[in-house]
Structure 1
C-alpha cells in the first residue's frame, strides 16, 4: 500500500476536476468485498474517475494492520481507502446493539461529513456517494452536503423485492402469518414464498433488538428510495435473477444489476481476518477429486460448544475428508476447550480462515456446507460447487430457497427449535449431495451449468458492465453541480 503522501501522485492529477465516487460500506467481510470490487470497477471505467472506499475505523484497522498510523488514508494504486468513526472504534463486534444505534448514527454522520470535507480540501471533492444498505447515517450526509447518492444492494434481487413489497402493502399480511413457517405469500413478480424462506427480520416473532433496528433502518431506506428515486445497484447476475429484475422495474425504475465475478480480482481482495498459516491448499492437493466437504459460516456467525459438537459428529458420520473454518474471534472458553481437546481430526482439517476463492476453485471440493451468505453463494455457483445450505438469519433463508428450490443446485438442513444444526441431519444431507444417486447427479450438473453461465456472463460482461457505465455516466453528470440535471434525474 502506498502512504498518504503518495495519494496526490496517483493515477491522475487535478482531482478537483474529476468524478469522485465515495463508496461507503458496512465494515463486515460480506459488505467490504463487493464494495471494493464495485469501487475498482468504477475506477476502471475511465482514467479520470477517482474512487474511495470508506468503512468504519475498526474494520479499516483489520484490513490494513501494517499501517504506521492505523487510521490513516491509504491506496492500492487503483482506489483509496479512508476510515470513518462510528463511535466504537475499538469494537470487536461490528453490529451495534439497539441502544448503541442512535449514538453510532450521530458519530458516523459527523465523521463522514469530516471525511468529505477533508477530501475536498485535498483537491478531491466527492461528486457521488454510493452506500451499501443499512447505513442510514450516509443518507443524512448526502443530504447535508448536497451530494447525489446511489444505493448498492449487495444481496439478491429477490431479497430486494421481498423488502420492497413488505414496505409497500404486504407488511400486515406477512406479520399475521409469521408464526406459520409453512404459510405461503405471493409477492408481485415472485413465485410463492413460505414464511421460513423470507428474510428473517421480516418474520421475527418479536420486534425487539437487532430485528427492530434493521426493520426501522430499512423502512427509512425505502422511504428515501420512494422520495429521492436514487439509482439502486443490485449485486446479481442476469442469468440468476432476470425475471425478478424485470418484475422490479415498475417499482424501481432505476434498478440496475451489476453482478461481476472475475477470478483475477482475487489478488486485490480484502481479508478482515488473517488466513490460517496451516498448509490447507497442500492438504487439498492430496485429496481425491470432488471428495472434500468445505464448511464455512462466514464472517459474523459464531459457534457454541453444542453446535461444534453436533457439526463434528455430522462430519465424522459422513466419513469424508473435510476442511472446516472456525474463526478465532468470538470463541468462548468452552469452544476453545473443545477445539483444544479435539485436535485429532481423523478425516479433515480445522482452520481459522482461508482464501475461499482458492478453496472453492480446487478440484478436490465436492460440496460447500454454507450459511448462504450472498458472496459465498455466488462464489460457489461460479465454481460449480453444489451446496448444503444451513441458513441462520437475514437474507440467508431466502438465498437457501433460491439454491434449493429455484436453481436446484443444493439441499437444505433445517435447524432445530433451539437453532442448532443437528449432526445426524447434516450427515444425511452431505451423504445425499455427495452420493451417486440420480438427483444428486442432476444437482451437480446444474451447478456446473451455472458455472459456465456465470463465467460467460462475467467474461463478456456486456449487460452488467453496460449497466455500470450507465450509472457512472448518469452520476458523473449529476456530480457537476447542475441543479437542473439533478431535478431532471429525480423527476
Structure 2
C-alpha cells in the first residue's frame, strides 16, 4: 500500500484557497502526496502574483477550467459557482485517471474540498475514492449550517433562511447563545440559500468535516455532528495561494516603529466598503496619531476609484498597502491591535498572534465570529454604527484608545494564543486528530 494521496479542490476565492493550501502543505510535510486543483484562472492569478515556489516543491499543481469566458467577472460568486457546478463534474474523472496513470503506486486515495465543491466528493464517491470537507469558516458556522433543517422545522427560520423573529437561540445545550440575525447565510438570496442546503446534503458524502479551529476555542460546536474534526490552527506559510502581490516593504517600516504601537487595518479579500465609510475610516486613522498599516485592495476595473481618499486625509503616520503579509505583520513586536472584518482566517491569525481585535464585521459568518471575539473569548471590542449607519471617526478613535489600555484584553489574548497553538504541538489535540485523519485516508 502506497502513501495517502490527497486531491484538494478549493472554491476559488482567497478565503478558501488559503486554508486548503495550508492544509495541503501540512499533509505534504507529513509525507503524504498532495495534488492541488486550481481553476485555470486562479492558477494564472496566483502564479503572477504569488511569492516563492515553496509550494510547488511539496504540492503538485493541476488545473481545470471554471466554465466561464476569460473576460467574465469572477467576483460574481454566484455566477462562478453555478458555472463550475455545471461544467467541472464532467471533467474531473479524466483528471483523476490521468493523475493515477502517472503514478500507479500512489493513486488518489482521498478528495478534500471546501464548501461549494461538494460535487467533487460525489464524483470521487462514484469512483470509490474517500472524501472529506475542509470547512473555511468556524466550527460554529458549520454547525449552524448543518442545523438548517432543524431550524426550519422548529420555526426559527423560514424556508429561505430568514429568522421568523429576532431572538437568541442555542444550537446545542453547551453552545453560547446566538442571535438569529447573525446566521452565517445572512444576506444570501433565495437561490444561494437553496444551493447551501443542497450543498450540505452533498457534503455528507465526505466522511470527515475538518475544521480549522481547536476544540478549546468552540467546544460546544463539536457536539452537533460526529463528522466534525478540529485540525487547526493551520499555520503553514503559503505564498503561492495569494491572489495579490504582497507588499513586503511594510515589514521593514514596521521594524522602525516602537513596540505595541501600530494599528493594522484589513478587511480581507472580498469586502467592499461604502465610499462614505471609507472616507470616515481614513480620517479616523489621522485622528489616532498612531502609526498604522492599512490594506486597501487593488480594485478591479468596475470599481475604479470607488474608494477615493478624502482631500483632507494626510495618512502621514502610516502605510497604505495593496495586499500585505498578514501573519508576519500580526506577529510583529510593533503591532498593537488589528481592526478586522472578522473573517475566520483573519480571526484565527489574530488569535495565534495574541493580538487584541477591533471588530468590524461586514457579511456572512463575520457577525458570529465577532460575538465569539467580544462575548465568549473577550479578546476584542466591537464598533457601533451611528444613526446614519456609519462607524464614525470618533467611535474608531475611542475604541482603539480603549482597547490599547485594556490590560485584561491583552492578557486574555496572550492566554488564548498559547492555548490555541498548543493544539498543534506534539501530543496536542489537533495534532492527534491530524494523525488519525492521515491513517484513515490510507
TM-score (norm 1): 0.80
Taking CA–CA contacts closer than 8 Å with sequence separation of 6 or more, which of the two structures ends up with the larger relative contact order? 2
- The yes-or-no answer on 1:31 pairing with 2:16 is yes
Structure 1: unaligned runs, 5 residues or longer: 1-15, 68-72, 205-209, 477-491
Partner residue of 2:47 out of 64, 75, 79:
64
Q: Which residue of 2 aligns with 1:254?
A: 227
**Any conservation in 1 of the 2:49–2:243 contact (CA below 8 Å)?**
no
Q: What aligned pairs does 1:276-287 form with structure 2 within 5 A after superposition?
A: 276=247, 279-287=249-257
How far did 1:33 drift? 1.8
Q: Which residue of 1 aligns with 2:198?
A: 220
Q: Which residue of 1 aligns with 2:170?
A: 186
1:188-235 CA-partner distances (Å, limit 9, x unpaired):
142221123331x1x44xxxxx54344223212322355x46211111
**Any conservation in 2 of the 1:55–1:82 contact (CA below 8 Å)?**
yes
Report the CA distance shift for 1:275/1:66 in structure 2 as closer, same or farther (over 3 A): closer
Report the structure, 1 or 2, having the larger helix content.
1
Structure 2: unaligned runs, 5 residues or longer: none
**Any conservation in 2 of the 1:167–1:222 contact (CA below 8 Å)?**
no
**Any conservation in 1 of the 2:169–2:179 contact (CA below 8 Å)?**
yes
1:319-366 CA-partner distances (Å, limit 9, x unpaired):
322110001133734336538x67741221111111011100111111
- The yes-or-no answer on 1:371 pairing with 2:341 is yes
SS state of the match for residue 353, structure 1? Answer: coil
Report the CA distance shift for 1:45/1:428 in structure 2 as closer, same or farther (over 3 A): same
Report the CA distance shift for 1:192/1:421 in structure 2 as closer, same or farther (over 3 A): same
TM-score (norm 2): 0.88
Report the CA distance shift for 1:346/1:94 in structure 2 as closer, same or farther (over 3 A): same
- The yes-or-no answer on 1:312 pairing with 2:312 is no
Report the CA distance shift for 1:363/1:160 in structure 2 as closer, same or farther (over 3 A): same
Partner residue of 2:426 out of 454, 460, 481:
460
SS state of the match for residue 176, structure 2? Answer: coil
Separation (CA, whole Å) in 2 of partners of 1:192 and 1:96: 33
1:237-274 CA-partner distances (Å, limit 9, x unpaired):
122122332x22xxx22321101344xx3265632210
SS state of the match for residue 76, structure 1? Answer: helix
**Any conservation in 2 of the 1:62–1:272 contact (CA below 8 Å)?**
yes
Separation (CA, whole Å) in 2 of partners of 1:89 and 1:241: 41
Report the CA distance shift for 1:470/1:64 in structure 2 as closer, same or farther (over 3 A): same
**Any conservation in 2 of the 1:74–1:80 contact (CA below 8 Å)?**
no
SS state of the match for residue 334, structure 1? Answer: coil
Most deviating of 391-400 and 311-320:
311-320
**Any conservation in 2 of the 1:43–1:78 contact (CA below 8 Å)?**
yes
Report the CA distance shift for 1:180/1:422 in structure 2 as closer, same or farther (over 3 A): farther
Separation (CA, whole Å) in 1 of partners of 2:192 and 2:400: 33
Partner residue of 1:243 out of 198, 215, 220:
220
